[in-house]
Homo-oligomer: A and B are copies of this chain.
């Protein structure tokens, strides 16, 4: 692309470094910013900067937080003995939105992925293992995505804590609610048959 202004080109190049944003989209966004009042740009950029510089991560679960401990870890209503292991903050938000979980979380910050150069030591695994070994946890729920990397990470964590006397579970894989069987992939459908549950207990959900 041929820009008539160096300032415009810089801005577009910076915005285009964000994931999923190509040069064309970046240009559209930047031209939109240019049409807005200057105060709007000020608000946008300072919101980003303040967030980047001042945000904290919960010292217990590694969730994003404004304080040392996040709202979930600090809440008296949550059962601290049930820990749900997730990849990142978005997963915490997704599970919180269901309203189905009353324990606390542990955010790993990613999955073990040798292809991307992410090993176990790049993730927040050790504090989790320590927490389990110190006897604070009664049940660990793996809620990583069901990919090779997710399964590897699950297995890596499991190996380190398998001698501890705690329950370890993983979230159920199966046909989505509302989905038609014929469109489900074979592996999911196969798993949903192997992991079938008593009909009476499905009525209670």
Task: Kindly specify which of A19-27, A146-154, A177-185, A186-194 makes contact with the partner chain.
Answer: A19-27
Contact of A55 among B5, B28, B65, B88 (CB under 8 A): B5
A66 at the B interface (CB under 8 A): yes
CB distance from A128 to the nearest CB of B (A): 18
CB distance from A8 to the nearest CB of B (A): 5
Q: Are B63 and A8 in contact (CB under 8 A)?
A: no
Q: A42-B49, A44-B15 are in contact. Are A4 and B34 (CB under 8 A)?
A: no
CB-CB nearest in chain B for A25: B20
CB distance from A151 to the nearest CB of B (A): 23
A205 at the B interface (CB under 8 A): no
> Could you say which residues of chain B place their CB within 8 Å of the CB of A58?
4
Q: Mark A80-117, 1 if CB is under 8 A from B, else 0.
A: 00000000111011001100000000000000000000
Q: Mark A31-72, 1 if CB is under 8 A from B, else 0.
A: 111100010111111111111111100100001111000111
A interface list, Cβ under 8 A from B: 1-8, 10-11, 13-15, 17-21, 25, 27-34, 38, 40-55, 58, 63-66, 70-72, 88-90, 92-93, 96-97
12 residue pairs of the A-B complex, CB under 8 angstroms, read A1-B97, A3-B93, A4-B64, A4-B71, A5-B64, A6-B66, A10-B47, A11-B47, A11-B51, A19-B28, A20-B28, A34-B64
Additional A-B contacts beyond A4-B71, A10-B50, A45-B49 (11; CB < 8 A): A1-B93, A2-B97, A3-B64, A5-B66, A11-B47, A14-B43, A21-B29, A31-B89, A33-B51, A34-B64, A38-B53
